[in-house]
C-alpha cells in the first residue's frame, strides 16, 4: 500500500481500543509500520445522545450512520465496528470484509456476585432490551432502569449507588483492561448477536483494500457472526426487540442457539440448529419458525419494528 490508510471509528475509549486492535492486526499481517494507518475518530449521534434509549432515537444506526457517511464520502478508507452494534441490513455500497478473532462472548454482572445474590427489588441499570428481558425472566422482582454512557461511566454509577448493579460485555471490559464483575455463562445470559466481535468494513468497490482487510479475518469468527446476523436479519426486528443469538464452531459445523423474549421476560421462545458456515438459509428459516410459534407478546415487538 503506497498511501496512508484512514481508519474511521467512534470516539469512545472502547471504540478507540478496538480500532487500535484492528490496526495492529493489519500491521502485523502486512508488515506495516506504525505510520501506515491513521485513526480518525468520529462522534456519532449515539455517543452524543446519552439520556434516552437507542430505540427511541433511531436504533443501531445511531452508532454507524456518521461512519457510513465518512466512508461513502471518502473521508476514511475503512471503519471498525463492534458487531453487536451494527444493523443486520447494511448499505450495498459497504462490505464487512473481516471479523477479528472473537473475544469472550459472556456478559459480566457489575455490583454483585450473581443474579441470585442481588437483594429483593434491586435496581439494575441497563438499556439493553435483551439483558432486561433475561434478567426479569430470572428475577421478576428486579427493577430495571434506563442506563447509558460509556463503560467507565456505568461502572462509576454502580459505585456511587445510583443503581445496585449493571451488566456489561466481558469483551469490552477486557479490551479496556478493566478487571471487574462476575462472568455470566451463555446458558444464564445468552449474548447479543455479534457480541465480542470486531468487524472491519470498507467500500464494496475497493477490491485492493478488501483483499488487504480479508487477510486479517478469522474464518470461524466470521462464519459464526454471519450466521447470527442472518438470523437477526430474517426477524426484521429493531434494537427494541429482545433477541439473543450465539453460534459456536462444533467440528466443521456451527451450533446456533437463539432466543426471543417478551419485554417483561415472561415469555420466551428458543431453538438451536446445526449450520454449515456460509449457509444463511438455516438461520433465516429458524428465525421465521420461531416467530411463527412465539406468543403475541413476542411477535408484536417485531411486527412494530
pLDDT for 56-110, tens place per residue?
A: 544 455 668 889 999 999 999 999 999 998 998 899 999 999 999 999 999 999 9
Averaged pLDDT, 40-62: 59
Between 137 and 241, residue with greater pLDDT: 137
Domains observed in the chain: 1-100+197-217 (3.40.190.10), 107-184 (3.40.190.10), 219-305 (3.30.160.40)
85 is a catalytic site residue? yes
Question: Can you give the chain as a three-state secondary structure string?
Answer: CCCCEEEEEECCHHHHHHHHHHHHHHHHHHCCCCCCEEEEEECCHHHHCCCCCHHHHCCCHHHHHHHHHHHHCCCCCEEEEEHHHCCCCCCCCEEEEEECCCCCCCEEEECCCCCCCCCCCCEEECCCHHHHHHHHHHCCCCEEECCCCCHHHHHHHHHCCCCCEEEEEHHHHHHCCCCCCEEECCCCCCCCCCCCCEEEEEECCCHHHHHHHHCCCCHHHHHHHHHHHHHHHHHCCCCCCCEEEEEEEECCEEEEEEEEECCCCCCEEEEEEEECCCCCHHHHHHHHHHHHHCCHHHHHHHHCC
Look at residue 144 and tell me whether its pLDDT is greater than 60: yes
For the ranges 9-13, 62-66, 115-119, which has the lowest average pLDDT?
Answer: 62-66
State how far Cα 229 lies from the chain centre.
10
Catalytic residue (choose from 47, 85, 107, 164): 85
Averaged pLDDT, 36-49: 76
- 147 pLDDT band (50/70/90 cuts)? confident
Look at residue 22 and tell me whether its pLDDT is greater than 50: yes
- Residue 19 C-alpha cell reads as 480500532
Q: pLDDT of 199-227, one tens digit each?
A: 999 999 999 999 999 999 999 999 999 99
- 122 pLDDT band (50/70/90 cuts)? very high
Residue-level pLDDT at 59: 47
Look at residue 190 and tell me whether its pLDDT is greater than 80: yes
Residue-level pLDDT at 156: 95
Residue-level pLDDT at 63: 64
Amino acid at each position: 500500500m503506497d498511501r496512508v490508510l484512514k481508519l474511521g471509528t467512534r470516539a469512545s475509549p472502547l471504540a478507540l481500543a478496538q480500532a487500535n486492535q484492528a490496526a495492529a492486526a493489519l500491521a502485523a499481517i502486512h508488515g506495516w509500520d506504525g505510520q501506515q494507518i491513521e485513526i480518525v475518530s468520529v462522534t456519532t449521534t449515539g455517543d452524543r445522545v446519552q439520556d434516552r434509549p437507542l430505540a427511541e432515537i433511531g436504533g443501531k444506526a445511531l452508532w454507524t450512520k456518521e461512519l457510513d457517511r465518512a466512508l461513502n464520502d471518502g473521508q476514511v478508507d475503512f471503519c471498525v465496528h463492534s458487531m453487536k452494534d451494527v444493523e443486520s441490513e447494511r448499505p450495498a455500497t459497504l462490505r464487512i470484509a473481516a471479523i477479528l478473532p472473537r473475544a469472550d462472548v459472556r456478559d459480566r454482572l457489575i455490583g454483585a456476585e450473581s443474579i441470585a445474590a442481588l437483594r429483593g427489588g434491586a435496581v439494575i441499570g441497563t438499556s439493553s432490551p435483551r439483558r432486561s428481558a433475561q434478567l426479569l425472566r430470572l428475577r421478576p422482582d428486579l427493577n430495571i432502569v434506563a442506563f447509558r454512557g460509556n463503560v467507565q461511566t456505568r461502572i462509576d454509577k454502580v459505585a456511587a449507588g445510583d443503581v445496585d448493579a449493571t451488566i456489561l460485555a466481558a469483551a469490552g471490559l477486557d479490551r479496556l483492561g478493566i478487571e471487574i464483575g462476575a462472568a455470566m455463562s451463555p446458558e444464564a445470559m445468552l449474548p447479543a448477536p455479534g457480541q465480542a466481535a470486531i468487524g472491519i468494513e470498507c467500500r464494496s468497490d475497493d477490491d485492493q483494500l478488501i483483499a488487504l482487510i480479508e487477510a486479517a479475518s478469522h474464518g470461524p469468527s466470521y462464519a459464526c457472526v454471519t450466521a447470527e446476523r442472518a438470523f437477526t436479519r430474517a426477524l426484521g426486528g429493531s434494537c427494541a426487540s429482545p433477541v439473543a443469538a450465539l453460534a459456536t464452531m462444533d467440528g466443521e459445523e456451527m451450533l446456533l442457539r437463539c432466543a426471543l423474549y417478551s419485554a417483561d421476560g415472561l415469555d420466551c421462545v428458543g431453538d438451536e440448529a446445526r449450520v454449515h458456515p456460509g449457509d444463511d438459509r438455516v438461520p433465516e428459516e429458524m428465525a421465521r419458525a420461531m416467530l411463527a410459534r412465539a406468543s403475541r407478546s413476542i411477535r408484536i415487538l417485531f411486527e412494530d419494528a
